[in-house]
């Protein structure tokens, strides 16, 4: 999903951080680790139109994947958490 998923996840980070800081009565500068603060600052600049476009793109991808399953019953992924069992 590329940039669309980054926009959605980044805007959610901003919303959750703001809500939690409000709940705790703390300021932004006091509570976020450096990397999280970098992400916060990056995604805080997004506008509603950016988030709307990202959500629309994610919906389009969902429709494309759904359409693929009209002719496919199962999706097999080669990714495993550990090596597969040896079959003899």
pLDDT value at residue 2: 76
DSSP assignment of 18-47: HHHHHHHT--HHHH--HHHHHHHHHHHT--
pLDDT band at 1 (very low <50, low <70, confident <90, very high): low
Name the maximum alpha-carbon separation found in the chain.
62
pLDDT, tens digit, 9 for 90 and up, residues 29-88: 777 889 999 999 999 999 999 999 999 999 999 999 899 889 988 888 777 778 878 888
pLDDT value at residue 83: 80
Inter-CA distances, 22 with 19, 30, 38, 88, Å: 5, 12, 19, 60
């Amino acid at each position: 999903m590329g940039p669309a998923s980054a926009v959605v996840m980044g805007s959610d980070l901003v919303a959750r951080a703001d809500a939690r800081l409000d709940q705790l009565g703390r300021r932004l500068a006091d509570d976020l680790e450096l990397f999280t603060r970098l992400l916060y600052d990056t995604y805080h600049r997004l506008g509603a139109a950016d988030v709307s476009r990202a959500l629309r793109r994610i919906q389009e991808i969902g429709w494309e994947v759904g359409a693929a399953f009209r002719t496919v019953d199962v999706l097999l992924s080669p990714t495993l958490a550990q090596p597969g069992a040896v079959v003899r």
